[in-house]
Amino acid sequence: MKMKKLLVLGLSAVMAAAMLTGCGGSDKKEEKSLTVTEGTLTMATNAYFPPYEYYEESDEIVGIDVEIAQAVADKLGLELKIEDMEFDSIITAVQTGKADMGLAGMTVTEERKQSVNFSDTYATGIQSVIVKEDSAIKSLDDLQGKKIGVQLSTTGDIYASAEPEDGGFGKDNVEQFQKGADAVNTLVAGKIDAVIIDNQPAISFVKSNEGLIILDTEYVQEEYAACISKDNEELLTKVNEALAELKEDGTIQSILDKYIVAE
């Protein structure tokens, strides 16, 4: 009796090993099923983007996106797990199944839509220009030929790096940073002339650094949404349903109001 059981166990172990090694051709699929953990909603973000996501003193990530993701996870009966990474890794993480969704104050763009699906939008933003208080730069026109700091691969980067005839300032005038805060520190140090970044982080950076102001100019309005793998239509539907309920019952608005104080 015992022997038989052992044999069965032994056999299935061999079979499992054969299956693992035999699946060389479908690496991608295998990776996906291994990384998406049952019962968990893994959110990819870049936690240097207050008030959407940032570290609070300790090593806890807080912010609008965290609370919205938590509310969505609660609705779906999943446990929320946050993966902090570079902003330009988020879409890849979602595509490869390293994360179930990206929530990072991410703007819906046509180009990103080629790679991922976007949920319904839950917030909006505009790009703002931060300069030093005593700067000679007073308008967007004054920015031509100046050194502009941006966070790598963000919409601010995309707009600023475009050629002047397309409304930008040209790649050569743009310095890319991994974190928005690094761009701001470089501005404070006087090594660049301006930073282009979303309005809410801009307000937060200007508050936490002396001698900075936001120029009174606006870019087009952007829509923030969660990005989800094109292979996971089911999650997209569920997230949209959850977001709709959270909008309906006022949860999203109260989260926004908690972090965004009217000026």
- For position 106 contacting ligand ARG by CB under 6 A, the verdict is yes
- Choices 4-12, 101-109, 139-147, 183-191; region in contact with ligand ARG by CB under 6 A: 101-109
Structural contact between residues 94 and 36, judged by C-beta atoms closer than 8 angstroms: no
**Six-digit token pair at 255?**
């989260």
Cis status of the peptide bond prior to 164, with omega within 30 of 0? no
- For position 229 contacting ligand ARG by CB under 6 A, the verdict is no
Q: What are phi and psi of 116, to 5 degrees?
A: -140, 165
Minimum CB–partner distance for residue 198 and ligand ARG (Å): 5
**What is the C-alpha separation between 83 and 100, in angstroms, rounded?**
10
Near ligand ARG by CB under 6 A: residue from 41, 42, 44, 49 = 49
DSSP of 56-89: ETTTEEESHHHHHHHHHHHHHT-EEEEEE--GGG
Minimum CB–partner distance for residue 31 and ligand ARG (Å): 25
**Beta carbon nearer to ligand ARG, 46 or 173:** 46
- For position 204 contacting ligand ARG by CB under 6 A, the verdict is no
Sign of torsion, CA 71 119 114 24? positive
Minimum CB–partner distance for residue 134 and ligand ARG (Å): 27
Helix (H), strand (E) at residue 222: strand 222-224
Minimum CB–partner distance for residue 234 and ligand ARG (Å): 25
User: Binding pattern to ligand ARG, positions 51-90, x when CB under 6 A?
Assistant: --x---------------------------------x---
Computed on alpha carbons and rounded to an integer, the radius of gyration of the chain in Å comes to 22
- Choices 32-40, 70-78, 98-106, 207-215; region in contact with ligand ARG by CB under 6 A: 98-106
**What is the C-alpha separation between 52 and 69, in angstroms, rounded?**
11
The amino acid that residue 120 corresponds to is: D
- Choices 31-39, 71-79, 100-108, 161-169; region in contact with ligand ARG by CB under 6 A: 100-108
Q: What are phi and psi of 229, to 5 degrees?
A: -60, 145
- For position 149 contacting ligand ARG by CB under 6 A, the verdict is no
Return the residues of window 2-31 that contact ligand ARG according to CB under 6 A: none
- For position 107 contacting ligand ARG by CB under 6 A, the verdict is yes
Structural contact between residues 122 and 64, judged by C-beta atoms closer than 8 angstroms: no
Structural contact between residues 252 and 68, judged by C-beta atoms closer than 8 angstroms: yes
- For position 200 contacting ligand ARG by CB under 6 A, the verdict is no
- For position 125 contacting ligand ARG by CB under 6 A, the verdict is yes
Minimum CB–partner distance for residue 101 and ligand ARG (Å): 13
- How many C-beta neighbours within 10 Å does residue 121 have? 14
**Beta carbon nearer to ligand ARG, 151 or 251:** 151
Interface contacts to ligand ARG, rule CB under 6 A? 45-46, 48-49, 53, 87, 104-107, 125, 151, 154-155, 198, 222
